[in-house]
Amino acid sequence: MILERDPEGYQMAIMIRSMKKNKKENNKISSIQDKAEESYMDELHERAKGVSLEDTELKGCNTVLNVSFSGEKAEIGEISTQEFFRIKVE
């Protein structure tokens, strides 16, 4: 009956119902993801117990891959690594 009298209103009601259903499902998924992330962080904290950074050297590097495109083929060129910082932890 609503469909016949107000087709736009009917479509709006169907969309709202669908959005509410999707919101409930997304909340369930989000909750599962939050629990998994929390469990993973707890595991990392357990692994880190007793680890010391003394006498450790930290360094950061960028890796560069040169690729050139000519026509339909890509040519892979040189691969290089560039160090951008080095820190000695004492």
Q: What is the pLDDT of residues 51-90, one digit of tens each?
A: 776 767 778 888 888 888 887 888 888 888 888 777 776 5
How far apart (Å, rounded) are the C-alpha atoms in residues 49 and 56?
A: 16
Average pLDDT over the chain reads: 79
Percent of the chain residues topping a pLDDT of 90: 0
The span from the CA of 61 to the CA of 29, in Å, is 36
Helix, coil or strand: residue 13: helix
pTM of the model: 0.32
pLDDT at 53 (0 to 100) = 66
Average pLDDT (23-38) is 80
